Amino acid sequence: MKEKILPKEQLPQILKTLLESYKVFAPIKKNGFYVFGEIETPDEIALNYLNSKIPPKEIFYPRTEVLFTFTKSPQGIDIQEAINPSESRVIFGIRPCDAKSFTLLDKFFSYGKFKDPYYQTRRENTLLIGLACVNPRSTCFCTSINGSPFGEEGLDILFVDLGDKYFVKSLNLKGDELLDQLPGLTPASEKDRFNMTELLKKVLASMTPEIPIENINTKLEQLFDEEVFWDQFSQKCIGCASCTFLCPTCTCFDVVDEETSSSGKRIRLWDTCQFPLFTLHGSGHNPRPTKRQRLRQRVMHKFSYYPKTLDEIGCVGCGRCIIVCPVNQDIREVFKALQET
């Protein structure tokens, strides 16, 4: 663990150095909102942002990806797996909540006997450089879910904006090694460390108060069949997938084949528990036929099934689902209602 200081005017130099050896993904502004995109020059980066609209999960887990292609030949069927070793990459400027989401995605994509090579290959060669949240949104609730605006989970290096300079902290061996290669860094002083701690206190104090969510999974289990409880939320849901598609921890996918008579490809694409088709059986039976059950699934999966199977809440409190919902469905209202039951 190393602690350094970087004057802000030196940042382009750091990015230039990174661009020499890595593919760099960073927040950029596009169509009026922020997304993580590949940058080619330091000036493309837009660090003055709250958080990206689309979570950076698609860098490791694209919306659509070919798993393998197949061709028919006289000898049989020839299958070519589409796993390409990825080039070394850096995600720069990622928020702590999104970095934490990768630790959940890591667990999901390596759960049980099988490791997902598509995700793993992209993930392995990628360094994560975070940018602490000094200006969390009112919809942010990371602190309620064991997170922090200065959280370090999942990151290799953390940058904290101290006004005219960054406090730069490496968090593991990979981070240490990378810091050694970067120009313009000077050792952090005791005063810098103090300033950072004070800033964190200030930021925490400015955040929307924590929502108590202890025992949430057992409470949810008890309420599983309470139709009235779920209806108060699902009533206004229009059943689109904005909340899940823009969620950094949602991982559900569909697998489809696209084929001609002689060749084809198997494709994985984002899917969502909010669509009726997600659970429609071949027989025509649908175990989650109404939006009540589908909304319940979204909540149960993150706050009950995740804690049970992975011993962690499947949400990082980024608040994207609240901001993006066309009808202002607010997951915090569910927590509040749980407190009252």
| 235 lies in the site for other proteins, by CB under 8 A | yes
User: Measured between alpha carbons, how far is 115 from 106 in angstroms, rounded to an integer?
Assistant: 9
- Selected from 267, 273, 295, 300, the binder of other proteins by CB under 8 A is 267
The minimum distance between CB 241 and other proteins, in angstroms, equals 4
The minimum distance between CB 277 and other proteins, in angstroms, equals 5
Rounded to the nearest 10°, the torsion over CA 281, 286, 287, 293 is 130
Q: Which residues pair with 256 in a beta bridge?
A: 267
From 15-23, 184-192, 254-262, 301-309, give the range in contact with other proteins by CB under 8 A.
Answer: 254-262
| Residue the block writes with tokens 């490809």 | 265
Kindly write down the DSSP assignment for every residue of 10-47, as one continuous string.
Answer: GHHHHHHHHHHHSEEEEEEEETTEEEEEEESSGGG---
Q: Longest C-alpha distance within the chain, in Å?
A: 73
- Selected from 261, 262, 328, 341, the binder of other proteins by CB under 8 A is 328
- Selected from 15, 18, 23, 34, the binder of other proteins by CB under 8 A is 34
Q: Provide the sign of the torsion angle of the four alpha carbons 112, 113, 119, 125, taken in this order.
A: positive
| 254 lies in the site for other proteins, by CB under 8 A | yes
Residue 228, CA distances (Å) to 203, 335, 337 in order: 38, 15, 12
| 70 lies in the site for other proteins, by CB under 8 A | no
- Selected from 21, 64, 88, 339, the binder of other proteins by CB under 8 A is 64
| C-alpha of 110 from chain center | 16
- Selected from 69, 275, 312, 337, the binder of other proteins by CB under 8 A is 275
From 32-40, 75-83, 94-102, 219-227, give the range in contact with other proteins by CB under 8 A.
Answer: 32-40
- Selected from 1, 8, 21, 33, the binder of other proteins by CB under 8 A is 33
| 277 lies in the site for other proteins, by CB under 8 A | yes
Q: How many residues does the chain have?
A: 341
H or E stretch at 81: strand 76-81
User: Measured between alpha carbons, how far is 194 from 280 in angstroms, rounded to an integer?
Assistant: 56
- Helices (H), ranges, the chain: 11-21, 96-108, 117-124, 173-181, 190-206, 216-222, 227-234, 242-245, 291-300, 306-310, 320-324, 331-340
| 107 lies in the site for other proteins, by CB under 8 A | no
The minimum distance between CB 204 and other proteins, in angstroms, equals 14
- Residue numbers 177-206 binding other proteins by CB under 8 A: 206
The minimum distance between CB 64 and other proteins, in angstroms, equals 4
| 272 lies in the site for other proteins, by CB under 8 A | yes
Kindly write down the DSSP assignment for every residue of 62-86, as one continuous string.
Answer: -SEEEEEEEEEETTEEEEEE---PP
User: Measured between alpha carbons, how far is 55 from 72 in angstroms, rounded to an integer?
Assistant: 38
From 169-177, 191-199, 214-222, 264-272, give the range in contact with other proteins by CB under 8 A.
Answer: 264-272
- Residue numbers 125-184 binding other proteins by CB under 8 A: 135, 137-139
| 31 lies in the site for other proteins, by CB under 8 A | yes
From 157-165, 184-192, 210-218, 319-327, give the range in contact with other proteins by CB under 8 A.
Answer: 319-327
How many binding residues for other proteins (CB under 8 A)?
Answer: 46
List residues binding other proteins (CB under 8 A).
31-34, 48-50, 53-54, 63-64, 135, 137-139, 206, 235-236, 238-242, 245-246, 254, 256, 258, 267, 269-270, 272, 275-277, 280, 322-324, 326-330, 332-333
